[in-house]
Structure 1
Amino acid sequence: ARKLYLAFNEVYRTGKATKVFDWEIIRKDGTKRFVGASVSLMRDAAGQPAGFRGILRDVTEGMRMQREIEERQEYLASVLRHVPDAIVTLDTANRILEWNPGAVRLYGYTYDEAQGKDIDDLITHPDVEEQARFFTKQAMAGEGIPPTEVVRYRKDGTPVSVILATSPIMIEDELQGAVAVYTDITERKRAEEALQQAHDTLEMRVQERTADLARTNEALQAEITERIRMQGQIEEQREYLASVLRHAPDAIISVDTSNRIVGWNPGAERLLGYSRHEALGKNLDGLVGRPDVEEQLRFFTAEVLSGKGIPPTEVVRYRKNGEPVNVIVSISPIMICGRAEGFVAIYTDITERKRTQEELRAKEMQLIHAGRLSSLGEMATGVAHEINQPLAIISMAAEGRLRDIQSGRFDVSILPQELEDILKNVRRIDRIITHMRAFARTADEWELVNPEEVLDNVFILLEEQFRIHQISVSHEIKEGLPGIKVDANQLEQVFVNILTNARQVLDEKAEEAARCGKAFEKRLVCSISRESQEGHEYVVFEFADNAFGVPDELKMRVFDPFFTTKEAGEGTGLGLSIAYSIVTRALGGKIWVEDNEMGGASFKVTLPVGGEGGDNP
């Protein structure tokens, strides 16, 4: 009433017509409507105020439409604000249009720094520029890039590993640009609000325009026109945001506070097999889970509904046909006006990546086995000599007794001793051959073994080789060593590779000393001990030589595939690389090299007591 009084008083005082305000009325039938009123002054023939003329207009439908548009806009903007990944939209010239908070966190550039820049100039370095521009060209040709692991660069120049997926943005069959999603696979962060600045600007413009159009009755038509224009912009923005969600390669699912699905993009349809119609309104945990992941699903849901996010986590979910699928899931709550209204979950399909990893693992095992056979070839001369010795003893005994029989001087009393010697040497040959066959096989057999026994088995194959090369080998074994659970064949291959490398460098050192006219005694010390680290028990193997040692800058490179300090044709550079792979990945241990008191190198291998760790059971 106060506002109405003031409005009429202003019209009477100034004589100018004015729009009063929009208010809610109750009609005769009890329904509520919103009306806009304008008031003008009526004058008599003498020009004196004679009364007021009022015009009421029903604006209920316009206000309802405006509220629906604002609510939908707020919802879609909130979804993009809270997406944890970096989402970047580009125009057809590869310039950045949108740069969400996830991109700011991931790359370090602010929106103002990134907006309008060429994406490939901003986040690439020369080593990845060619690949990046190829991907951009493909996206601008209307083709999407499936999830691909790449390296991009932050503002401070540090590289970051991400999964990149891009799709073209098509509106009414016309290419508008592209959307790129970068998933940080080093440490996924929760997404913050996206497009907030644009939204705030739009809201301010709405308020300013509404205030300007509230003065006169003539401005009412301009207000209606402006609202229609604004509605078109909002619809375009809604379509734009919806297009981003439609073309995102990942499954993006939004859920209300009751864990019912309210958003299900085409990426979710492709990944999980349910259509949008089938998924909407369903309980998310019940739809994509099975009993084996039920507890994990409940935990994730409870965490996110309490306002916490779930960082990128590798999990298993289930498709409509019951088939399990490996995904990386990240979840963030959707906050509107400081209140959790649900959450958004992003599922990235890593099935292809898992398959590739398994193939690489199989190839690695083939390489390890090939290295084992190669080691056997290198040991062949020494092993042959080791077998020839007992064969010579057996041959001499047999020939001697044959001559005695032929000459009639056969003494039966010495036969038991000679037969015992023959059997002893037969067993020696059998031991060598049996261990060579065991060393060559590929069976993955884990068992609890005595550390000293593994080392002894290696010297069954290498002892003669070290003797031929005149290398003095000593053993320092601590008493009471615990057992280690390993694949003995794999561990023996590690030791063979290390010892073969030691023999080669000792030979090189001896040759160098001989060229200088100096004497050099080749020495190798093999020791086994036990130590505790951070509450865990380990068995430590050390192989120390008195050759050259390893420069600090090469101490890690010596384990790189194909790295060798030998001349071309004298080494493959795979021996220590295979040893590193077996120890760190298969056996769950550590391997490194350091200098020793003899002036040479010490290769050390630590393995957990009982064999806890590694890729194998």
Structure 2
Amino acid sequence: MRFRDWPIGLKLLIAPGLVMAGAVAAMLVAWVTLSELQEAAAQRAQDRQVRDVRAATLRVSLIKSDLALFRALAWRTIGVRDEVAAGLRAGAEARLDSVEILAEMFDAEASADEAVLAGATRAEARRYVATARAALGAAGAAAMPQVDEVERRFADAETALREWEAFYLADRQAHDANAAAAERRVVMIALGGAAAAFAVSVALSLLLSGAISRAVRRATLALSRLAAGETGVEIIASDRADEVGRLLHAAAVFKRNARAFERAVGEQAEAEAQARAALQEQFDRLAGSEQRLRDIAGAASDWFWETDAEDRLVMISDRFFEVSGFSPAQVIGVTRLSFAQRAETPEEVATWVNYAKNIAMRRPFRNLDYCIKATDGRLVHVRSNGVPVFVKGEFIGYRGASSDVTALVDAQREALQSSRLASVGQLAAGIAHEINTPIQYLGDNLRFFESSIKTIAAALDRVRTAAAVSDEVSARIEQTLDEADVPYLLEELPTAARQSLDGVEHVARIVRSMKEFSHPGSTAKVMTDINRALESTLTVTTNEWKHTAKVEKDFDPDLPKILCLPADLNQVLLNLVVNASQALEGRETPGLIRIGTRRDGDAVEIRIADNGPGVPDGLRERIFDPFFTTKAVGKGTGQGLAIAMDVVVKKHGGRLTLEETPGGGATFVVRLPIAAEAGEDADETLDPVRR
């Protein structure tokens, strides 16, 4: 065995023993005292290591418990399944229990000076645990205000722990310094005693103690820096087998363990940071999804709603309030029946009965049609669809969507009315055909009567001439004719026959107009006389305008025929004449409708003007829009001018414009090409209203 591997006590014993027994005794005392000091130092080092490990374990436990608490609160706020939330909470509770146990064990062997700071650290840890458990026990949004308090308690506990570590480090360094001083005093006393005996013993003792002290100081310094958290301190490896070698070996092991612990803490912190970032990303995605749903609901023409188990509305989107004008206080917490119009027809009653059956059976319902009265007095037709909602098998209400189908209902009514009018038109065409034949008979017979009366009158003149040869015969003939009022009949019958013929001709003209106007037409364009079409339109609409207006016609007799769809063009002229007539209703004196035609280059122009109130400037841009009307309910659908614009522009490649009429009123001008083919690509961008 090498000398350097000998135990230090043996080294210190052999050198004085070689000189004298007195030196042996002094060295023995020094060896015993130094051994006790070294054991005390080793015990302190072990105690420091235990305390450092406890402090580090408490800090890590605090960090893990804070992460577990944050995770449990965050996932509960997001809304996860109950079993997941319970597992997260149980994990947080376990971490808090660990913190509480470690706090109770923390620095149990503290000295009187350390007791105050150790007690403060335990107290702050207990307060943090209590605050965290209160946050875990709080329900819903009530937990969020307590999170800040938990974080403050966590910071206070960390601060108290750091203060204790700083105090403990200073105290430990003071103890180390005192121990080193005591060792030096003992060595000096022992060496002094030996020097009194022999100078060689003193020199040898000083040499040995110096070598031992340097190794011990290096080991002590290394352990102190390791205890302070400097895991990068250099520890010189030694193959010594004595106490110093073992101390250095223990320091090296402690350094490896400290570095491993530091890496573990860093990895845990990195994992926690990644978990926090993932949670924040989840929050951001959920917030974005919620905003997208809000934007979609706000942009939809329908509205969405939700009811409770008693069919009371608990949520409805803003679109409903825009349509109805209601406020949320008027509809939230009540059923649809409370603001829907009362069912009056058997069909409406049956609709609500079927709805009640579906609600009672918890079945989806489709196409629930009903009316509500908006705040501005309008009747709004609503169509609703809904599905039942169950949570864990328990029925909680309905969710669905509703839409404003007022325009659809009006369009259906208009389509029905148009169908009826089409049927009436077909019937009128058939009646006109049936009337035309007897009218022809009447005309022919009246003409025969007229010519026969003339023939009879001539025959009577010849009879009078023949009877003039005898006064008696002549007088008897005249008397007979007077008694039969033949002279009066001969005078009045031609007039009556002519008036009857005029009446029959007027009826025939009406019948011809009806036949021409009600003719369904064809899909091919034909050459058409616009003046004749206007005459037919005026004849058909006579009952519309004869009580409200006089009609002035200014037709160009040389107006050429144009290539068009007669039936569609008749509809345009009819709409414009009827609009002009209706604009003059309510006047004390009849108004005036002027209708004129003329050729303008390669087109014909039809002007229909009235001296009514005209069209306000604010409405001139909208009068050709579908379903736009200024007439009272039941007087118009807003389709007439829209149809006219479609026929003139799209089907005929023409123009339909509104001009201001001098002196008031409105003038509609229809301009149509004479023979050009109009296509679907007709220019629709032209402004229909000419300023």
TM-score by length of 1: 0.34
Larger-Rg structure:
2
Structure in which a larger fraction of residues adopt helix? 2
Larger RCO of the pair (alpha carbons < 8 Å, separation 6+): 1
Structure in which a larger fraction of residues adopt strand? 1
